[in-house]
Amino acid sequence: MKRKMVYAGVPWTAGMFFASFFPPDAQIPAMLITLLVSAFFFWKTVRKFVYYAVAALFFIAGAVTFTLNDRIVCDRIRDLAGQEIHYEGRVKEITDRADGKSLYLLDGSAGGVKHVKLMCTVNTLECTYFDTLSFACTPSEFENSFLFKAKDHYASEGIFLRTDKIKSLKITPGNRFSFRRTVYRYRDHISGKISTVLPGEYGALITAMLMGEKSGLDENTEKKLYRCGTGHMFAVSGMHLALLVSLVSAVLEKTKLTLKKRFFITEAFIIVFTVFSGMQVSVVRAALMMTLICSAGLFGRKPDPLNSLSIAALILLIHSPCLIRSSSFLLSAAGTFGASVLVPYVTDSMSSEGFFAGLKKKAAGVFCISVCVFPFSVMFFDEASLISPVSDIIIIPLCTFALICGFGVTLTGGADVFAYPLLMAGGLASKLVIKISSFLSDTGLSSVALGRGFVPVLTLFLTVFVAFTAFRYRSGKSTLAAMGISAAVFIASSAINGQMNRNILSVCRTGTSRSSAVMISMGKYNDVIDLTGKQTSSRYISKLADIRGVHHIDSVAFLKDPYQSMASYSRRLVLNDVDHVYVPEDVYTQYGAEICGCDPEHFDSEGLFLDRGKYTVRAVPEGGVTVEYCGNIIKIDDSGISTGEGAVTEQNVAVRQSESGKVKVYRLE
């Protein structure tokens, strides 16, 4: 069967993705180069001009569609920022926060512009899903920060505006029957039942896998799961929907219903689950694919995953071009391509007879999926798992069992007679998942940092190498070998890069204007000094440690007002091994109380002095931090960083100094 839709869906997606990286004036020359390179690949593989012409046309159409949508539709919405407007929209999502406020996602109109999504954070209102809110406000655009790229994240969902101040509010209840509102209320009922029967993070893990709602999970637990490569279980997608469809199909096959009736019943479950999961882009994509696959038999056709994926991507991107920069969409599409296309292509020739042969084939399949999603992990995340091909074999079956238990509770309405035994069993599986993830992540070998400058370039080069090998040799074994070589090159390059930087001193100042801290690193040493004593600085240090791949911290020192910050650091640095904690001599610490797993040590009024062999660090509460290396002095205080070449007053910057005395200043991204 010819995969005709592949020549439309894949180029359209590629064209949009391509256009999202280039300004309009640079798109034409870059597009010509891309088309010429792709023409070479087509000539070597497909050898049919008509297919190339169709693919080239859809590639150009996708790029043009993205550019026009961004320059016309999105710009009109962004132009509303800073203006006082009258906004009217329906409540699409509600998220309650711990500070008594709630976050409302609205979809409505303002200033003559329709389909304006607005993120509104205000005191909790007496409204529910799909009620209409009307008010006056002055919205602003999201901003990217060191902690969270809010502007990029929300733009991929078509959300460009936010506000936390509204006036002249009017709430109009949605009196009509709403299918989505009914499903959302049922979802809240099931979520409440799970948290009642199974409180704590074990129940929160089941809720996260079932609904994609991660707010109940501890931040450190979530990080451990991602380091083991099982974070994709929280993004409700094809795996979850395929599992549900399998359960429904297994029941329907026991009946005497016709194929058409079984399809419509299955489709009803697909639609309800799609709404139940919050209409996440990954599950909408999966629902479209599952509908195409399940309906193929009605038309006497054989289902083809790549065709279905191409059609689903085409529909989603035509409806919402902004999705092309969505991490959920890209990771979901890449993972589906890996699981349904690349894995069969690579492993079909591998023997599955015997335990070890079957294990080898399964590990190869998981490795293929990991390779497919890795380039997009580099785009969106600070870390990537190194052990997912191994951990998935152990953890995914446990997650699947817990998810089946969650499905059971959902399909039985949360009735106590079913909910209690199912959740007890699912909770045991969740406990094992968290325990195994904690053990694996504590080894320090579970993940690799993606924040180093060479990583994106190396990843792009290796991706091109694997793609070229696959097209050139058209062999599963050759493709698998290319992926294995690429993985080995990446790991070796990371190790070599670490060795090359052992004699480079790095001083990073991070935080805000009111709360800042510094991390000083060289070789095996990593020292953290909190300059201001505020709670928020620990979040910046934790983020910085993730980006730089720092798992071991030699010392954490507090210079001012440490009482609040000590507790915050203890919570944020749970996954980091800390050797020493230093506080001023006038700070009272309770006997036996540990900070970051250490007994606090006091330093006198002259400050803290650290001798690291090649460099020294002196920290004084009123004088900031002074670092001396190879005769050069770097000073850090509340006002910024100063070196022999000048001062930098910006936050979230790093200074790198080599043994030769060369100093380089760059922003932390």
pLDDT at position 444 is 67
pLDDT at position 642 is 86
On whether the CB atoms of residues 578 and 550 are closer than 8 A, the answer is no
pLDDT at 46 over 60: no
CA 419, 425, 427, 433 torsion-angle sign? negative
Stretch 480-496: mean pLDDT:
89
Query: Distance between CA atoms of 549 and 509, rounded to whole angstroms?
Result: 17
**Which residues are 646's β-sheet partners?**
643
Q: Which of 121, 128, 79, 82 is nearest to 103 (CA)?
A: 121
The fraction of the chain above a pLDDT of 70, given in percent, is 94
* Three-state secondary structure string covering 137-164: ECCEECCECCCCEHHHHHHCCCEEEEEC
On whether the CB atoms of residues 147 and 668 are closer than 8 A, the answer is no
pLDDT at position 1 is 45
Query: Distance between CA atoms of 443 and 362, rounded to whole angstroms?
Result: 24
Query: Distance between CA atoms of 81 and 140, rounded to whole angstroms?
Result: 5
On whether the CB atoms of residues 650 and 640 are closer than 8 A, the answer is yes
Q: What is the pLDDT of residues 381-405, one digit of tens each?
A: 887 777 777 777 788 888 889 989 9
Band (pLDDT 50/70/90 cuts) for residue 609 is: very high
pLDDT at position 133 is 94
Query: Distance between CA atoms of 146 and 544, rounded to whole angstroms?
Result: 9
On whether the CB atoms of residues 321 and 351 are closer than 8 A, the answer is no
Stretch 125-133: mean pLDDT:
89
pLDDT at 467 over 80: yes
pLDDT at 93 over 70: yes
Higher-pLDDT residue of 213 and 36 is: 213
Stretch 246-260: mean pLDDT:
84
Band (pLDDT 50/70/90 cuts) for residue 84 is: very high
Q: What is the pLDDT of residues 271-319, one digit of tens each?
A: 888 888 878 888 888 888 888 888 877 777 777 888 888 999 999 999 9
- DSSP per residue, 413-477: TT-HHHHHHHHHHHHHHHHHHHHHHHHHHTTS-SEEE--STHHHHHHHHHHHHHHHHHHHH--HH
**What average pLDDT is seen over the chain?**
85
Higher-pLDDT residue of 453 and 477 is: 477
Q: What is the pLDDT of residues 189-247, one digit of tens each?
A: 999 999 999 988 899 889 888 887 777 788 888 888 888 877 777 767 777 888 888 88
Q: What is the pLDDT of residues 549-559, one digit of tens each?
A: 888 999 999 98
Tell me the range of 89-98, 449-458, 491-500 where mean pLDDT is highest: 89-98
pLDDT at position 526 is 94
Residue 469's identity, in one-letter code, is: T
Q: Which of 172, 191, 32, 12 is nearest to 106 (CA)?
A: 172
pLDDT at 45 over 70: no
pLDDT at 601 over 50: yes
Q: Where do we find the tokens 């492993």?
A: 347
Q: Please give the structure tokens belonging to residue 156.
A: 């991929």
Q: Which of 601, 599, 565 is nearest to 585 (CA)?
A: 601
Band (pLDDT 50/70/90 cuts) for residue 354 is: confident
Query: Distance between CA atoms of 518 and 508, rounded to whole angstroms?
Result: 5
pLDDT at position 424 is 94
pLDDT at 85 over 90: yes
Stretch 424-447: mean pLDDT:
84
Beta strands at 577-584 and 101-110: parallel, antiparallel or unpaired = unpaired
pLDDT at position 455 is 85
**Which residues are 96's β-sheet partners?**
102
Kindly calculate the radius of gyration of the chain based on its CA atoms and give it in whole angstroms: 27
CA 303 to each of CA 44, 316, 640: distance values in angstroms, whole numbers, following the listed order: 27, 20, 61
Q: Where do we find the tokens 């934790």?
A: 542
Cβ-proximal residues to 188 (8 Å cutoff; 6+ apart), any chain: none
pLDDT at 40 over 70: no
Q: What is the pLDDT of residues 153-196, one digit of tens each?
A: 999 999 999 999 999 999 998 777 778 888 888 988 999 999 99
Q: What is the pLDDT of residues 313-347, one digit of tens each?
A: 999 999 999 999 998 889 888 988 988 889 998 88
Query: Distance between CA atoms of 258 and 510, rounded to whole angstroms?
Result: 64
pLDDT at position 109 is 94
Other CB atoms within a 10 A radius of the CB of residue 82 amount to 11
The pTM of this model reads 0.85
